[in-house]
Structure 1
């Protein structure tokens, strides 16, 4: 059981989140994030990702309360018993992906992604991608609408919508998933070890432009994208007992 004396609250721009923050700070107080034992994020999954990115240099874990829609990374909202909930919460540690995207104009975009790094066609024609894993060409040409690499935590997000596999939260595995693969027909992707370094090279980049995105940090027109896990960054996320990511991922497979 953790000791929680000081809480920092962060809220999205939504009115419901702002009102929730006012009620909670009146009841439990509010401190700067760098002084907090726990950071409480009020919003939806998008705001939770924003908060995790903004606080990754701090040691305090983050506990989300859902004031959005889906709230996969969030806990149920309630003003009551917050100190007890934080003290009893289960902790999950997530390593993000590191993206290095090389643009056709020479611009290099580096970013971290908690859920996935995705490549998407940016024009009317399908993308053509070469896939290289750990320096070895694994697919000379993939014709598709896009492809992504997802972490276990992100495997139920965009990856699942693209018919990728749900990954157990403790697994040292990444999902490489194709979106609307045309050639090879029906190719859905691959499971790769967490240590893998994936490189996508964009073929016919001028004729078939491709954009790359890492948790909303984008390069609009890329030549190549390198993706790897970043073990030096540890995102600590708190969940109510019995409602952690492992349980949520398992439940999602039977829904």
Structure 2
């Protein structure tokens, strides 16, 4: 027997709120759209942000291979994108989004500006976690003849992993929040649902349902992140 019976959930929501079957259907669609945006953007943020953070650490003045000019250029670019409010970035990237996915409206279109907004954010968090790795361990591997790749694989990433997980958890929660913001201008998800069926129809009960769903979603993400961070923390 399934722990969550969809008919029972529908009956419960209909009982606590005068929500129509169509609105319920749209609610489930909105949950899926928010999940899709979060997972896709989270993946792009991880594979985009972590390599950039490693590059900044390696090319820093005290890094494994100091390169001041490339380091400065990448750092400035990261700072520029971090300085732009998401709602402005969302509008400014409409031509890019339309070129990449063929449309500027919808869940798939929202993933592009979401990723561009959160990659710099996670890059800085990951950079801080990597920078906090004990330099004594790095010097020890160097003294034993370890290569840069060995230092990255055997020291930097394993030692920084708990901090990277915690930082990625915070980033995923940020993605959930700004995906709801993107939903207000046609990106879909719980943000669009809250505006269309809650705010515009003066339905405080539907707004409350969306808020509760977001709280549950974010709490689950935070719990999973804290669990994984503690599991990989061997200090």
Do they fold alike, i.e. is TM over 0.5?
no
What range is the shorter-chain TM-score in? Answer: under 0.3
Q: Which has the larger radius of gyration?
A: 2
- Higher helix proportion: 2
TM-score, with length taken from structure 2:
0.23
TM-score (norm 1): 0.22
Higher normalized contact order (CA 8 Å, seq sep 6+, divided by chain length): 2
